Amino acid sequence: MSPRSKRISVAALFAAAAILVFAVQPARAAMPSDQVPTLAPLIKEVSPAVVNISTSGTVEVERSPFFDDPFFRRFFGERPNEPRQRQTRSVGSGVIINAAKGYVLTNSHVVAKADKIIVTLTDRRQLVATLIGHDPGTDVAVLKVDPDGLTALKMADSEHLEVGDFVIAIGNPFGLGQSVSSGIVSALGRTGLGIESYENFIQTDASINPGNSGGALVNLRGKLVGINTAIIAPGGGNIGIGFAIPINMARQIMDQLLEYGEIQRGRIGVQIQDLTPELAKEFGVDHDGGALIAQVMAESPAAEAGLGSGDVIISVNRKSVHSGSDLRNFIGLLRVGARVDLVVVRDGEEISIHLKVGAIQEARTEAGSDVPKLKGAAFGAIPQSSPFYGRVKGVYVVGVVPDSPAWESGLREEDVITSVNRRPVTDPGELMAVAAQGGSSLLLNIIRGDGSLFILIR
């Protein structure tokens, strides 16, 4: 496409968007003959509710193993004052969703490790914010600021969004200050991206860049439909593929954070997988996808309700389930004790099953009592909040005390240990038994983030 053609296409997009703005807003007066279509009135109305966020904090610096090597110390000496922490600074965006109480919605990754959070309004006022709570699983956080003179953004029902709807992204890209871009909804229900534990993204081609995180995605009625969160950026900048958390999903998390300060995420006690066309034929399911139950945990809500291996869940609370990710999102966003109505296909027939969401129970074992090399670490089953739940067999590192033997060995919170001395381990008891027989060294196979590694502990 030639540069001139690109300019014509962009101009057409803005003209169409502006025409729609005038179509949905009441006519105040006849438009002068020299006035062009514009989004300016809409932007002036919603911009005061979008804020810039700057944070500062400290993070632990992982100590290099060279400092513990006698050969290294012989030539370079001891370094007792080697810093273990470093200062961090970041910028992002947020949306005022309750002006009377001073509540600001943003991304968890923008504020999670901050010691100080400053919110800057469009009138250049700077307010110190308090973190009410955040949920890394969905990347949602709620802040509170002084409510004096604030403007809030009304929330839409994101269930009514459709591919092709015009949207506007407002945020603080690259720390430049408030910026506006426009585009359309490119896709809905994006999952399996590995960005968050619970994914149901709105995809948009409205320009989103680093610093837009936590900002607003609004419709042409000036209502909030999503919280801008992530981009696919091979070169580090926008290429027209951005993602936002639907506001309905963010609102569910926000309500729990405001009520409890944390997410009381539950479980029904099943391990699931996607229903492929081949498996659908085998299990007699005439349905567009579903979640196939591979295993039911003993004494779980699912077991008590009569669910079994081979059942296919096709609906949760009247919402269709097309994949294992759908089921995980639906259940993971419900509160403990919430009622769940399932439609299940069993032996080719649909049946209804009712149950209540149970609390996630993570068995923990302090390792120090039996294996000194692992002292300071706590282990448990892989929780539903982990992206490895139902996909990997192993033992979850629930927590590691800094500067403990386990920490110095390289173990970190949220690691998944799949084997010890090349023997697979699937629960904390098995881990401890194999590690206790490990002799003078332990070889751990670890899954961490998007990769895996071996850790040798001597």
φ, ψ dihedrals at 400, nearest 5°: -135, 130
The radius of gyration computed from the CA coordinates of the chain, to the nearest angstrom, equals: 25
Residue showing tokens 């923008």 = 110
> Is 106 strand, coil or helix?
strand
What whole-number distance in Å separates Cα of residue 244 and Cα of residue 246?
6
Query: Position 137: which residue type?
Result: G
Nearest to 151 by CA among 97, 220, 212: 97
- Among candidate residues 93, 135, 139, 186, the one labeled active-site is 139
Run of H or E residues at 14: helix 3-24
Catalytic residue among 90, 108, 213, 409: 213
**What is the C-alpha to C-alpha distance for residues 7 and 20, in angstroms, rounded to an integer?**
20
Question: Can 139 be counted among the known catalytic residues?
Answer: yes
Angstrom CA distances, 260 to 66, 108, 201, 263, 332, stand at 44, 16, 25, 7, 16
Number of H helices, E strands in the chain: 10, 27
* Secondary structure of residue 390 in the 3-state scheme: coil
Examine the residue annotation and report whether 287 is marked as an active-site residue of this protein.
no
Answer positive or negative: Cα dihedral of 168, 172, 176, 177.
Answer: positive
Which residue among the candidates 108, 109, 311, 427 is catalytic per the annotation? 109
Cβ(451)–Cβ(387) below 8 Å = no
Q: Are 108 and 134 in contact (CB under 8 A)?
A: yes
Q: Which of 383, 377, 379 is nearest to 361 (CA)?
A: 383
Bridge partners of 319?
Answer: 316
Closest C-alpha to 228, from 251, 201, 253: 201
Write b or e for each residue in 9-19: b if 16 or more Cβ atoms lie within 10 A of its Cβ, otherwise e: eeeeeeeebbe
Q: What is the distance between the alpha carbons of residues 154 and 358, in angstroms, rounded to a whole number? A: 33
Provide the 8-state DSSP code for 70. Answer: H
- d(CA 245, CA 238) in angstroms, rounded, equals 18
Whether 315 is catalytic:
no
Point out the residues that are catalytic: 109, 139, 213
